[in-house]
Amino acid sequence: MALIEELPDLAGFAAITGTPSEIRSRLNGSADERVIALTFAHGGAREVQAIADTMASIAPLISALIDRRQRAALEAVVEALAPHVPPPEHLMIEARMAAQARRAVLEGGDWLTAAQVANLAGFAASNPSTQPNKWKKQGAIFAIRHQGTDYFPGYGLDPAAGHRPFEAMAAVLEAFGTAKDAWGIAYWFSSVNSFLGGRRPQDVLATQPDRVIAAARDEMAEIAHG
């Protein structure tokens, strides 16, 4: 007696095996809309059943993949047809101002990668960025992020101490705390400061560290009092 087995329904998919006449008889009473026939000139019932089981198990996955790709294609069409909405003018103005400020910062100081700092300080070449990044985490110095790379301020390194960070730098960073991000701190160092007689903090950090620390604390006091 030939083998005919119907697998459990899987999200509307089923597989049946048997001889052509047996399959034809079963399909005559089927209400399914579509049928796929896979014939074997030779093959045992066990092998044929294993193939049927596999087809039934992957059919829902194939259907879901096709549906997902159709939705993705439709979404792409909608995106292409939707009108482009430019950002508001005030945001564009803010973006241009921020870009100009960052350009001024980058052009107004010596900015070094971690590897360059390590080279100046004479650290091992095997992993040169370790110590500069450690300084940053410890709050001994800061670094701005530009185009995926951290840059450390050259004016924050003391040549007389083997290009280690000035001690005053840590005090300034502590004074600002979380009130300023790295770019905000860079803006402050590169801007003329009335507390310093119109000089930039980065220009007098090495010669008047106490005054720079006092200027940072004075600014934070002004922020606190509005």
pLDDT tens digits along 35-87 = 777 777 776 778 878 777 787 777 777 777 888 888 888 888 877 777 777 77
Number of alpha carbons in the 13 Å side-chain half-sphere of residue 109: 30
pLDDT tens digits along 156-181 = 999 999 999 999 999 999 999 999 99
What does the alpha-carbon distance between residue 120 and residue 196 come to, in Å, rounded to a whole number?
A: 29
User: By residue range, what is the domain housing residue 67?
Assistant: 5-81
Residues 51, 147: one domain?
no
Residue 133 identity: N
Contact present, 104 and 97 (Cβ < 8 Å): no
**Tokens linked to 226:** 């509005």
Residues 217, 157: one domain?
yes
The number of residues making up the chain comes to 226
Residues 143, 41: one domain?
no
Residues 39, 132: one domain?
no
Angle at 97 between CA 93 and CA 101, to 5 degrees: 170
Residues 116, 54: one domain?
no
- Domain finish residue from 81, 107, 122: 81
Whether residue 195 is predicted with pLDDT greater than 60 in this model: the reply is yes
Single pTM value for the model: 0.62
